[in-house]
A and B are shown apart, each in its own frame.
Chain A
Amino acid sequence: MTRYIIRRLIQAVPLLIAISVIVFAIVEIAPGDPAQMYVDPEKGADPEYIAQVRRSLGLDQPVYVRYVSWLAKTLQGDFGFSFRTRRPVALEIGDRLPNTLLLGGVALVMSILIAVPIGIISALKRYTLIDYILSTLALVGISVPVFWVALVLLQVFAIHLNWLPGVGMRSVRVQYEGFEATLDVIRHMILPATVLSLAQTASWSRYQRSSLLEVLGQDYIRTARAKGARERRVIGLHALRNALIPMVTLIGLSVPSIVTGAFITETIFGWPGMGRLGVESINGRDYPIIMAVTMLSAVLIVVGNLLADIAYAWVDPRIRYD
């Protein structure tokens, strides 16, 4: 197992380097120039000032020189400075990451807690009214665009009913302390977490349903029933454990998106997380942040895949990697 993990990690290195080259190239080719973000196009910038800004950002170097120096620094754990704020990239990300992890983590747990039972019920009550209702709801959940759901929830619960706050992560008029502060964050989290988990819940419940149905048709289930095991035991012990295996992959693959954040949801709800940082850095042509965020996501996808594979072996002893 250890050898397998090491081999996978070594394989990941050329992959990550290739990704970094591609991302660096895309950012380079994309229109817009960080130095121009320092000036208002309407005012017609002084070319000398632009040249000075470019020098101070190191943009006067050829692209391959910049790439190599970026790579060398990144390998030493130095992600450089944000072009926009001149703060270290690590600090910028450090400010946002906990907020995104909180929101994404809560949404993930919500999705699992709702999707798995729904999938199980649908599978066990296959082709009944309840299955049709749940399936239809799932279809709607997958189909409606995230921004639309977000805006509707915002209109209804934040603006018309005024039950829940719709902007940001904390109240700004009152500064809460201790437990009240936690409660305040939870209240702010309800709408964005619901939106984030909705599409995921819908699609995961479908996966759970079909995977359980597939397992229920297997020979060992028939064997279990034949030897007189009670239905509870058949489903709970034999069927469910096996039906959860594909779910582990799905959840493992969704881990990176929890860290990199949700661009649309975070922007609409003003959540101070990685997704908004991503949007702001792309709008502001903040190359070091764009690189850091994309590389972080690449690393996490690689690691997420690996974790999913390891988790496989754990939930299913039949799987061996030696």
Chain B
Amino acid sequence: MRKTLLSLLLVVGLLLPVMAVNAQGGEDFVCPNKGGTMVVSYGGDPRTLSGLYANDGNSLFVVTFMAEPLILGGENWGDKIEPALAESWEISEDGLEYTFHLRQGVKWHDGEPFTAEDVLFTYQAVQLEENAIDWRPNLMQGDQPMQFEVVDDYTFKVILNEPDAAVLTSLAIPIVPKHAFESLNMVDAPYNTNPIATGPFKFVEWKTGESITLDANPDYWRGAPCLDRIVVRFIEGATNTANALLAGEVDFARVDGADVTPFQDNPDFVLQTAPRDLMRYVGFNVRSPNFSDPAVRRALAVGLDRQAIIDVAAGGYGMLADSLFNRAVFMYEEGRNEQYPYDPELAKQMLAEAGWTDTDGDGILDKDGQPMHMRLAYMGTWSLMQAIAPVIYDNWRALGVDVELAPLDEAKAYEEIYENTSTEKPYDATIGGWGLFGPEPDHYRNYLANPTGFFAFNNQQIIDLFNQGRKVTDPQARYDLYAEIDRLLWEDLPMIPLYQAVGAWAYRSDLNIDAAELNGTFLTGLKYPGRVYFEAQ
């Protein structure tokens, strides 16, 4: 296990500089070898093939091969803000006007030219309430819709009502072609099952329950893909996916847990890892009297063997977190915050300093006659939570915390935790996971600077800083500001980040994905799928 983790850290460490170089290498990639079909796999039939409706894994997975937003860096679209369909952009002095210069000569899969009218159409369709598109809040400021303007075919303006420095990632919505729709109303548009996009692969065929076939788009603006074809095969379950890889039915797939083993030291496969933009945490109800003191929360962090959680619950595939933010945020810096080491003795000492000792000898800490009881709520049907909960229970029981595990069924979990918008939380702590926020730290505001969030966390200084962060456009000033938030949150610790998930991908050894860049912030795991190629035999 330790060995896996070490090699994993090495891989991650080695990848970072490589990625930086490639990103500059830019658009002039030449395929060393062309042709071939890559078979990949994912759970089941997509709900939709429209980039606007895709927000579940099955749909996003397929859409990511075909569609593109103006800018990379939003949810599922990578960990860095980078130009895609927009080549460059300018921000006005007052931070209210964003002018995008669109890439010229880009063609839709049916040969029509891509223009600013398509961008306008896409954003207007998202804003239309009847369309019930999940992206809608991205293009709203409170109740006010953002304004758009087509300056010319290749210049597009977004006009805000108030400054919002996070707007770039909010705009990372896949663009759809205006000419493929009859009207803005697209709930039942034929497009949803027969999409036309601008990306490296284009839709060919969908065999329900079996597969989706995508062919290379020879006119792709980053250059024609090396592969001729990608087939997305629907395979339910991690074990079935691993078996399909081993049987040669699938060439590239994410593998999980115990199913990673057959690919280790297997000459027919390459096993590679990349951090995913997902965090697992145990968060406190900060309003609960027992856990309102940051010193207590820090002590519990010291008293928690998070490495054991990674080993037990994630099979070693996790990175110990040293920030409440995922590594994808733009201001993440390893080592900025001092790690809370696992040290139960120190934890007991810290709790005693905070006033918690076992005065009545019942094995449970108490303060002013109050025992340290903790109702730990989580979604009991989620197997990952089932694996994490006992470790927390053991560790904190050993410190003298009276932990009561409360595994909830789904309906109850939504009621108590996820949809609970009151400041009153019926739990003292909760285990959960979140992510896919991308590089923009503002997306954490709902949870970390919101008194009605999961942790009922209400720190005015942090709320003020988050609000300020939306208005500041100067990159360095923003960086400093969020770095400050990062430090403050690590001190205050409304939640203990357990680990950031690491994905493992297995693929045929004659498949080369180096230039395609394995990146866990894309559901497909591939940043440039057009650059995957088969090595010549």
Contacts and interface: CB of A to CB of B under 8 A. Distances in A.
A52 B129 CA distance: 9
Main secondary structure of the interface of B (DSSP, over half): mixed
B261 interface: no
Contacts of A96: 208-209
Interface string A261-274: 00000011010110
Contacts of B207: 170, 272
Contact of A43 (B187, B208, B409, B436): B436
B247 A154 contact: yes
Interface in A9-38: 31-33, 36-38
Q: How large is the interface on A (under 10, 10 to 19, 20 to 34, 35 or more residues)?
A: 35 or more
A266 to B, nearest CB: 9
Contacts of A276: 44, 209, 236
Interface stretch (A59-67, A117-125, A159-167, A297-305): A159-167
A99 B237 CA distance: 21
Given A172-B233, A270-B233, A272-B207, A167 B244 contact: yes
Interface in A80-119: 84-87, 92, 95-96, 99
Contacts of B381: 31
Contact of A31 (B55, B134, B410): B410
A172 B243 contact: no
B134 A38 contact: yes
A45 interface: yes
A97 B88 CA distance: 51
A168 interface: yes
A95 B209 contact: yes
A167 B41 CA distance: 11
A42 B244 contact: no
A40 interface: yes
Contacts of A270: 210, 233-236, 240, 244
Given A56-B132, A162-B248, A168-B233, A44 B454 contact: yes
Interface string B241-260: 00110111110000000000
A270 B39 CA distance: 14
A43 B249 CA distance: 33
Interface in A155-195: 155, 158-159, 162, 165-170, 172-173
B240 A267 contact: yes
Given A31-B410, A96-B208, A53 B132 contact: yes
Contacts of A155: 243
Contacts of B278: 42
Given A31-B409, A85-B48, A172-B231, A41 B210 contact: no
A267 B55 CA distance: 24
Contact of A86 (B55, B137, B188, B249): B188
A34 B418 CA distance: 16
B33 interface: no
B210 A272 contact: yes
B37 A166 contact: no
A167 B235 contact: yes
A50 interface: yes
Interface stretch (B96-104, B356-364, B427-435, B470-478): B427-435
B56 A172 contact: no
B49 to A, nearest CB: 10
Contacts of B233: 167-168, 172, 270
A50 to B, nearest CB: 7
B379 interface: yes
A47 B209 contact: no
A277 interface: yes
A106 B197 CA distance: 41
B55 A40 contact: yes
Q: How large is the interface on B (under 10, 10 to 19, 20 to 34, 35 or more residues)?
A: 35 or more
A159 B243 contact: yes
A319 interface: no
* Most-contacted residue by chain B among A40, A56, A270 (CB, 10 A): A270
Contact of B411 (A32, A84, A92, A268): A32
Contact of A166 (B234, B247, B421, B434): B247
Contact of A41 (B208, B209, B414): B414
Contact of A47 (B129, B236, B421): B421
B447 interface: yes
Nearest to B409: A31
B34 interface: no
B464 interface: no
B213 interface: yes
Contacts of B208: 92, 95-96, 272
A279 interface: yes
Contact of A165 (B45, B236, B246, B249): B249
A39 interface: yes
Nearest to B447: A44
A33 B243 contact: no
A314 interface: no
A49 interface: yes
Contacts of A267: 236-237, 240
Contacts of B414: 33, 36, 41
* Most-contacted residue by chain A among B47, B209, B239, B436 (CB, 10 A): B209
A158 B243 contact: yes
Contacts of A165: 247, 249
A272 B211 CA distance: 9
Interface in B398-428: 409-414, 418-419, 421
B147 interface: no
Nearest to A37: B56
Given A47-B419, A272-B209, A42 B249 contact: no
A162 B436 CA distance: 38
Contacts of A84: 45, 47
A19 B44 CA distance: 29
A219 interface: no
B370 interface: no
A25 B418 CA distance: 25
Given A96-B209, A167-B250, A172-B39, A38 B56 contact: yes
Contacts of A36: 410, 414
Interface string A116-139: 000000000000000000000000
Interface of A: 31-33, 36-47, 49-50, 52-53, 56, 84-87, 92, 95-96, 99, 151, 154-155, 158-159, 162, 165-170, 172-173, 267-268, 270, 272-273, 276-277, 279-280
6 contacts: A44-B447, A44-B453, A45-B418, A50-B419, A151-B243, A167-B247
Q: Which 8 A-B pairs have the closest CB atoms?
A: A272-B209, A95-B208, A167-B249, A158-B247, A172-B231, A42-B434, A31-B409, A272-B210
Interface of B: 37, 39, 44-45, 47-48, 55-56, 129, 132, 134, 136-137, 187-188, 192-193, 207-211, 213, 231, 233-237, 239-240, 243-244, 246-250, 278, 379, 381, 409-414, 418-419, 421, 432-436, 446-447, 453-454
Given A33-B411, A168-B249, A173-B231, 5 more contacts: A38-B56, A86-B192, A165-B249, A168-B210, A168-B211
